[in-house]
Structure 1
Amino acid sequence: MMPREVTDGNGVTWSLVEAYAGLSEDGKSEAARVEGTDRFRVIATPTGGAQSVELELPAGWADDLSDDDLVKEIGAAAE
């Protein structure tokens, strides 16, 4: 999966990618599903000096969530 990028109101560009649970013997990774849910751990890495944040987003987030929704999720996680 390619990273998805969004830019917040402060001009910081965030690169979002699903975290992975680890590599299996066949070299494939399994996305880090939040146990007992249909949500996945996503790491948002900023340009500049801001701190990376970990999000829990629903399956399909890369296609289904708008840039504004992702910026709101990042803002809530960064607080």
Structure 2
Amino acid sequence: MEQREVTDQNNTTWTCVQAYAGVSGQAAEKATDLAETSEGTVTVVCTPSGGEQTVRLELQSDWQQNLSDEALLKQLEEGKKNR
């Protein structure tokens, strides 16, 4: 399971992981296919280190490689507003 950590301006560290990323074996490929939308997005769950609530985001499937930390933090801020 590949995860990514970013820290916001309030010193909250967010651990983000793609939904179903922990699935392994034969179910992994099917779960990955089911998790990606026709628009090429996946659900990413970000869990905070502090008093914030978990945030679910819809990001492009290449978010791990091509989304900067700053852009991920901006998505988190938007996600917190839309809860």
TM-score (norm 1): 0.85
5+ residue gaps, structure 1, are none
Write the distance in 2 (CA, Å) between the matches of 1:39 and 1:46.
Answer: 22
- Corresponding residue for residue 26 of structure 1: 26
2:66 paired with 1:61: no
Q: Take 1:76 and 1:5, find their aligned partners in 2: how far apart are those partners?
A: 17
- The CA distance in 2 between the partners of 1:64 and 1:25, in whole Å, is 26
Q: CA deviation at 1:33?
A: 1.4
Shift in Å at residue 28 of structure 1?
A: 2.5
**Could you say which structure has the higher helix fraction?**
2
Q: Please state whether the residue corresponding to 1:28 is helix, strand or coil.
A: helix
Report the equivalent of 1:11: 11
Partner of 1:74: 76
Is 2:50 aligned against 1:45? Answer: no
* Larger strand share, 1 or 2: 1
CA distance in 2, matches of 1:27, 1:13: 30
Distance 2:72 2:24 in 1: 30
For residue 41 of structure 1, what is the amino acid of its counterpart?
T
Which secondary structure does the structure 1 equivalent of 2:17 belong to? strand
How far apart are the structure 2 equivalents of 1:47 and 1:16? 11
> How many residue pairs were aligned?
78
**Structure 2 CA distance for partners of 1:11 and 1:26, relative to 1, 3 Å:** same
RMSD across aligned positions (CA): 2.3
